Amino acid sequence: MPKIGNIILSNSIISAPLAGISDYSFRQLMRDFGVGLTYSEMISADGVYRNNKKSKTFSFVKNEHPVNTQIFGHNPEYMAYAASFFEDQGADMIDINFGCPVPKVVKHGSGAALARDLQKASQVICAVRKVLSIPLTIKIRLGWCKNEENYLELASIAEKEGVNAICLHARYATQLYTGVSDWSKVKLLKNSLTIPVIGSGDLKTTSDLAKSITEYGADLVMVGRGLMGNPQLISSFLKTPSPPLKEIIVAHFNYLLAYHGEPKACKLIRKFFPKYIKSSPNAKELKMKCNLVDNSAAFFALLEDIIV
């Protein structure tokens, strides 16, 4: 079984940190399908340091293990504070984000922008590693752009500073989520390190998952958008039973209800529902109806109209 630091995982599949997606409800559903490790949504270290309620209320629910908390920022002191805070809250690991390419993150020198400055990146990693007794991971991209490809250098620095595993999303920051991930770079990274390498990018089928491990040598694989509306990908890869589609949707909605309450759950399910029912011949009609749902009874009634 795969291992990150002293944490043994049940399998090699990781549920990615997805902004606005990877809350407790989503993570719990992924665990139901057998995922080996879940990640929190990306959390602002500055917000935690400044006692921002939204940043500090990431909650670990009983039996939610193993879970990795991902933080972002560029100030070594703030990053160390946030890492220590979440270790105290019960995180099994801490992850530093060096890959987020969105403007509101990089304009402050965080995420993929921080990876452009290897000296600053090293300072951040060192500061965080010093305060932790749990495993530390980082998530990176190939570099800012093709002319600034520096993932091997950053990974080497991270390993020397005591990082326990590195996740590579094999795109450049300037690509955002366009184009195709270059998995040959994952293989190069694996051959350059002794710590586990997590591969990420364009994993949508069981053959994608298998190939990432057997052909490209990834120790673990991180699946993000490929799990939205399709948690069955996990059970398919693990060769375990999967419940019917309607049961999956009900389970997800019930987790949203328990964690967020009815009004918010009815709004949040709207971002997932279209992906679940995209193969249904009346998907467009169902999506429009879901956008008008404002109570759980109406949502459950809507499920009766799904054609599978």
In which residue are the tokens 């291992």 written? 3
Nearest to 80 by CA among 118, 19, 132: 132
Q: Show the tokens assigned to 15.
A: 């549920």
Helix (H) or strand (E) holding 28: helix 24-32
Q: Which residues of 77-95 are buried (b: 16+ CB within 10 A; e: fewer)?
A: ebbbbbbbbbbeeebbbbb
Length in residues, the chain: 308
The answer to whether 69 and 45 have CB atoms below 8 angstroms apart is: no
Grouping H, G, I as helix, E, B as strand and the rest as coil, residue 8 is strand
For residues 262 and 253, give the distance between their C-alpha atoms in angstroms, rounded to a whole number. 10
The answer to whether 201 and 169 have CB atoms below 8 angstroms apart is: yes
Q: Show the tokens assigned to 271.
A: 């971002």
The answer to whether 94 and 67 have CB atoms below 8 angstroms apart is: no
Find the catalytic residue in 100, 167, 266, 290: 100
Nearest to 199 by CA among 1, 44, 2: 2
Active site residue 126: no
Catalytic site residues? 100
